[in-house]
Amino acid sequence: MQPIRIDEKRALAHLMDLLAIEGLSGSETKVAAAVKKKARAAGARPGWIKFDDAAKRIGDGYQVGNLIVTLPGTIKAPRRLLMGHMDTVPLCRGAVPVRRGNRIVSQGNTGLGADNRTAVACMVTVLENVLTRGLDHPPLTFCFTVGEEVGLRGALALRKKDLSNPKLGFNIDGGDPRDLWIGALGADRWEVDVRGVSAHAGVHPDHGVSAALIAARAIEDAAARGYFGKIRMKGKTGTANVGVIRGGEATNQVTDRVYVKGESRSHDVRFKARITDVWRAAFERQAKRVKNNKGVQGRAVFRSETDYDPFQIDRRAPVVLEAVAAAKQVGLKLRLRSAEGGLDANHVNAKGIPTVTMGAGQHGPHTVDEYVNVREYLDGCRLALRVATV
């Protein structure tokens, strides 16, 4: 067995370089260019490096697709996938990383981008070690995804053939490397176009049908049934939220249109659908109940789509056992957990690649208090290198 050691200064230099590069969702070009440059410097051949066509298929002005680096193996074994997303949230725009003791933080009043540049730097570190040290390894695919922060869009667009059909997947996106995420919930996103009838709110309010009233009553309806916030029903759990409400033009006008956006989440795919159905029924029911003096009803046009389905990997699955064994070899005891948010791994598992998620030291994502725990980042690099080698 090859010893697991890394050049910590190199690993941290990669991280500081990548944290300093701006790369919001859809605008990952500079991050990808830096990764390509580092991969080539480590000895990756040009033919091993490519972009898929995710940018074209996603649309919305995406600059690049998922960056994929494919290495042939030095031993005969199933191909392994290491992956992590390149994009950061807008709060990280202009981040200047500085090290303070065991932490790397943002110098200014911005997010840091540890979510998920820790993964990108970790993967670059693994790639560099594998190539420059001549470490024996199975066939490897490194995938740097786009658009994770806005709906896992890059992962959704991935094709197995572009990844060279890996059999085991290791997604890097988290904090303490002792946590191994073997499951994650699923989410539906829904929107409602609530239609009423406009009228003068002072002269003839009874002529109107208030879309605002319909929306308010629908939210109260679902909440009264226990389907708002944390949901517990007959052993099933989930969440629901209304995140956007827009509408109205003037205070003296009965609101004739309100737009509502919300979500439903659960680890159980059927219960997730049940939550969404409850919200659909609440809006449709209340739209029929709000009428004007002529008996004209309101209307609610409810649309929903699945962002991603939940997944749960068996604790005895090969990908889990490989991660646990690798962790033991680098002195870590893993805790098997399920995530309460969506991961790129949701879509990759749905494509038939069993994929767990590991941490590499990021904390406080999407806040100005975001930081990297340096010790955890380095442990994450060692764990990822162990997973990638034999």
Give the predicted TM-score (pTM) of the model: 0.91
Contacting residues for 297 by C-beta, under 8 A, at least 6 apart: 209, 287, 288, 289, 290, 291
Quick one: residue 81, left, alpha or beta (phi over 0 = left, psi -120 to 50 = alpha)? beta
Quick one: residue 183, left, alpha or beta (phi over 0 = left, psi -120 to 50 = alpha)? beta
**Which residue type, as a one-letter code, is found at position 15?**
L
Nearest CA-CA partner of 119 in 150, 142, 96: 142
Nearest CA-CA partner of 187 in 80, 369, 339: 339
In the block, residue with structure tokens 């990822």: 384
Output the CA–CA distances (angstroms, integers) from residue 326 to 167, 297, 331, in the order listed. 17, 62, 9
| Dihedral angle of Cα 257, 263, 264, 266, to the nearest 10 degrees | 180
The alpha-carbon radius of gyration of the chain (Å, integer) is 24
Exposed / middle / buried, residue 273 (Cβ in 10 Å: 0-12, 13-18, 19+): middle
Q: Please count the CA atoms within 13 angstroms of the CA of 375 that sit on its side-chain side.
A: 5
The first and second tokens of residue 188, run together, are 């539906």
Instruction: Give the separation between CA 140 and CA 49, rounded to whole angstroms.
Output: 12
Q: Angle at the Cα of 47 (from 43 to 49), degrees rounded to 5? A: 75
Does 116 sit behind a cis peptide bond, omega within 30 degrees of 0 on the bond before it? yes
Q: What fold characterizes domain 8-185+310-388?
A: Aminopeptidase (3.40.630)
CATH class held by domain 186-308: alpha beta
**Which residue type, as a one-letter code, is found at position 306?**
T
The first and second tokens of residue 352, run together, are 């038939």
Residue length of the chain: 390
pLDDT at 3: 63
Phi, psi (deg, nearest 5) at residue 283: -65, -45
Averages of pLDDT over runs of 10 residues in the chain (390 residues) are 85 99 98 99 98 98 99 98 98 98 98 99 99 97 98 97 98 98 97 99 98 99 99 97 97 98 98 99 99 98 96 98 97 96 96 98 98 99 96
Exposed / middle / buried, residue 75 (Cβ in 10 Å: 0-12, 13-18, 19+): exposed
Scanning the chain, the segments in alpha helix (DSSP H) are 8-19, 29-42, 54-58, 114-132, 153-157, 211-224, 269-289, 318-329, 344-350, 374-388
Domain boundaries, the chain: 8-185+310-388, 186-308
Would the CA dihedral through 154, 63, 162, 19 be positive or negative? negative
pLDDT at 390: 76
pLDDT at 338: 96
pLDDT at 137: 98
Contacting residues for 245 by C-beta, under 8 A, at least 6 apart: 215, 258, 259, 260, 261
